[in-house]
Amino acid sequence: MYANELRRRRPRCGDKWHMDEMVLTIRGKKHSLWRAVDQDGNVLDILVQSRRNKKAAKRFFVNC
């Protein structure tokens, strides 16, 4: 019930979105940070991978 209330308060995402990629270091190892951002600038979801795999990241965001 609490999670449903939070989802209702979250701003609605637009119908167009794109992915941003950034490389960051966690405990001395490089990771890829992917963000899905809609046309209004709202962050839809975030994914951190130890290996850079763009195909898997796209698949993750489409299924969200």
pLDDT digits (tens, 9 = 90+) for 44-57: 889 999 999 889 98
Ramachandran category for residue 63: left, alpha or beta (phi over 0 → left; psi -120 to 50 → alpha): alpha
pTM beyond 0.75: the answer is no
∠ CA(44), CA(23), CA(61), 5° rounding? 25
What average pLDDT is seen over the chain? Answer: 84
Residues 6+ apart with CB under 8 A from 53: 32
Our CA angle for 38, 41, 47, nearest 5°, is 65
Is the distance from CB of 29 to CB of 51 less than 8 angstroms?
no
